[in-house]
Amino acid sequence: MIDNKITIAVTKGDRIVRQQLELLAKIGIETLEDPGSSRKLVLETTWPGVNVLLLRSSDVATYVEHGIADMGMAGKDVLLEHGEEGYYQPLDLGLGKCRIMVAGLRDEPPLPARLKIATKFVNTAKRYYAEQGVQVDIIKLYGAMELAPLTGLAHRIVDIVETGNTLKANGLVPMEHITDISTRLIVNKTSMKMKYAEVQQIIAALDAVVAEHT
């Protein structure tokens, strides 16, 4: 029983929202309506005092940072792009594991000193190459990243890699590992202070469930 109302933001999308809601269900928090059939974006749950918000992945961190949601579940890739100063990250939930990598053509021609990098992870790519001391031009794309080296739009890409099968099918290979990605639990800083007992109750319950599966 939660005495102080808690709002948890989860990520819309068939597979990821199902995984996140299944994790919440394991600690007794289940939505009263099916998010797949309901048009509501705020769902009440079986745990009195806890509501669930359904948001785009890129918006979860924003809602948590500004205190509209007390807690949220978001991929590390999204958090890296958003900036990680506005909230706490107490728990790696272990969902959606993958990697952000640099990839290029399998039969890559000689490259110029200044590379063109296509990615939707602009901030992550900029930080990575700055740390390497390499100057690059970033081209922002939203999808079909593999086409960029194939068509000459960019020399390499920075993208999420799960199995590597999509890269292989398009004549690309992973080249440099940037970081590992998984879904993280994030908590609003004010909520952690003002609703400490309630927030810690949920963190501890999720931690126990995650620990059982690792």
pLDDT of residue 1: 47
**C-alpha closest to that of 201 among 104, 62, 84, 70:** 70
Does the pLDDT of residue 14 top 80, yes or no? no
- pLDDT tens, position by position, 161-175: 988 899 999 999 999
Q: Is residue 214 over pLDDT 70?
A: no
Task: Round the average pLDDT of the chain to a whole number and report it.
Answer: 92
Q: Which residues contact 175 (CB under 8 A, 6 or more apart)?
A: 101, 102, 103, 104, 156
More confident call, 101 vs 47: 101
> What is this structure's pTM?
0.88
pLDDT digits (tens, 9 = 90+) for 117-146: 999 999 999 999 999 999 999 999 998 999
Report the residue count for the chain. Answer: 214
Domains and CATH numbers, the chain: 6-96+182-212 (3.40.190.10), 99-179 (3.40.190.10)
Residue 179 has pLDDT above 70, yes or no: yes
The two structure tokens encoding residue 157: 């890409």
